[in-house]
Structure formats: structure tokens, C-alpha cells
Amino acid sequence: MGHNTAMCVEDKIIAIIAEQAFLEPKDIAPTNTLDELGVDSMGVVECIFAIEEQFDVQVPFNANSPEASQFDVSSIQSIIRAVEKLIEDKKQ
């Protein structure tokens, strides 16, 4: 099992988003935005729930005011970074 954790987080998040976007994980780049992938606000919420479940973290995301959230969903990369930070914080 020579997986480094960072890779795992990225893979899992891309898999979650791929499912929401009805795409193959290989068709998703970290630089993509959820908009580009056709994930609507409802889909974003589904992704957040899936991420919380998958990584056992609390995502500081407010669907009613996404801009005000501590959680940056502007791109796949930002989501990956934010989740990695949540996982780190949880280990503290």
C-alpha cells in the first residue's frame, strides 16, 4: 500500500466530484471549477456531504452563503487543499 495520503485525498475527492458531475475521474483536472464540470449548488452540497463522510471531517460550508464559508469550492484544487487542511487540523 505505497499510497501517500495527499494522493489519496485528491483521488477520493475527484471520484466524489466525478460522481456528482456524471463524469469519469480521468476527465477531471484539479484546475477545473465545479461550474465547468456542471456541478450545481445542490451538487456542491452533495459533494460536501460525501467529503465529510469519506474523510470524517466537518466541512465549514454554508450552502446559503458559499462566499462566506471557510471552505473554498472555487476549484477542485482548492477543495483538495481545504480538505487536506481539515484532516491536518483534526490530527492536532
Give per-residue pLDDT as tens, 53-90: 999 999 988 877 767 778 888 899 999 999 999 999 99
**What is the predicted pLDDT for the residue at 68?**
75
* Residue 73, number of CB atoms within 10 A of its CB: 20
Each residue's pLDDT tens digit, 29-43:
999 999 999 999 899
One of 1.10.1060.10, 3.30.470.20, 1.10.1200.10, 1.10.443.10 is the CATH number of 5-91, namely 1.10.1200.10
Please report how many Cα atoms fall inside a 13 Å half-sphere around the Cα of residue 70, on the Cβ side.
6
* For residue 1, pLDDT beyond 50: no
